[in-house]
Structure 1
């Protein structure tokens, strides 16, 4: 039996981002959903405002495609975390 491969599926734009495991996919989805909620609270949405949410899902394509996309997803996550830390660091 092959091991399940996981991703964060962003519903709305229908993007998928490979994740190392289900727990990480869910954590990334939770982070993105919280970010979306913060941004939406700063707006006045109307009927034209797109609906976007993320969830953990099984990877829909080949293991090779997962491996390729995983490298990109991890690099994006590291960069995002670095930017977040910089914005939280008080100036010296």
Structure 2
């Protein structure tokens, strides 16, 4: 298998310590992963996103916990979408039995299937689809819709196109999505 010759991008968050020095969080493969390395209740100021060793300053320092709270749902969506796209690419390249039992029982592509309207919505993982199905079934008492986790019935490319919307459409409470969309994006959104 041919591997890319270019190095992969590396992302991290940069903190300002009490003495004014800077420390960097762990290296990650994408911005979403870097955001998710922030420890809840970390009050150190965050002043930059570091990409491939170059710091990209936020408009102003922000407490790390506030940055995590503001961007967590989107960061989780980014990570899930990247993982799903990688799974889709893997599914296109490798035959399931090429590696014997190594991937037995693992369906790379999952969806939330709304039975009744017969809709499918690409999910990052089977666990995401199961959690969303439980939420839908708990909220709908009409009996007209039943939600289940199911293997993705379409192409890997169509799964990759659809999966990025899953977290905000199916797992976040509607009021939280609306609040995030209505909130002004002035805390470094453009830079990180």
What TM-score do the two structures reach when normalised by structure 1? 0.67
> In the superposition, relative to structure 1, how do residues 53 and 82 fare at CA in structure 2: closer, same or farther (>3 Å)?
closer
Runs of 4+ with deviation above 3 angstroms: none
Match of 2:173 in 1: 81
Verify: 1:61 aligned to 2:154, yes or no: yes
Verify: 1:25 aligned to 2:129, yes or no: yes
The size of the alignment, in residue pairs, is: 74
1:28-61 deviation line (CA, Å, top 9, x unaligned): 0000000002xx4xxxxxxxxx621000000001
CA RMSD of aligned residues (A): 2.4
Higher helix share: 1
Q: Partner of 2:150: helix, strand, or coil?
A: strand
Superposed displacement of residue 76, structure 1? 1.8
Structure 1: unaligned runs, 5 residues or longer: 41-49, 87-92
Computing the radius of gyration from Cα coordinates, the structure with the larger value is: 2
Superposed displacement of residue 84, structure 1? 5.2
Superposed displacement of residue 63, structure 1? 0.8
Q: Partner of 1:16: helix, strand, or coil?
A: strand
Match of 2:44 in 1: none
In 1, the alpha carbon distance for the partners of 2:168 and 2:156 equals 18
Match of 1:70 in 2: 163
Match of 2:120 in 1: 16
